[in-house]
Amino acid sequence: MDLSFDLDMDNLPENFVQCDVTTADRRHLILATDDQLDLLTRAQQWYMDGTFHVVRRPFVQLFSVHVFLTNDGCANQTFCIWAYTGA
């Protein structure tokens, strides 16, 4: 599959694409809002997960970083970074 496509930045939140890296035959997109990055800087623990089952070609893996936020005694998982890898 061709990984050389252009992202339509008009349909993405401002500053959402944090990094778009191509090395050899792989492309990596790192996505997060400024608010999500701020949550990461304030969190005491980060939780990470990688999966191959929810992505569509040309991407083959999704790696995510999350934090848990507590509000009124309830903890909620919040995604902060998505990293897609294409091959």
Q: What percent of the chain has pLDDT over 90?
A: 60
Q: Is the pLDDT of residue 1 over 80?
A: no
β partners of residue 3: none
Convert the pLDDT of each residue in 28-40 to its tens digit.
999 999 999 999 9
β partners of residue 20: 29
Contact 28, 40 (CB under 8 A): no
For the beta carbon of residue 50, count every other beta carbon within 10 angstroms.
Answer: 10
d(CA 80, CA 5): 25
Tokens at residue 5, please? 């496509």
d(CA 44, CA 68): 9
Convert the pLDDT of each residue in 20-29 to its tens digit.
999 888 999 9
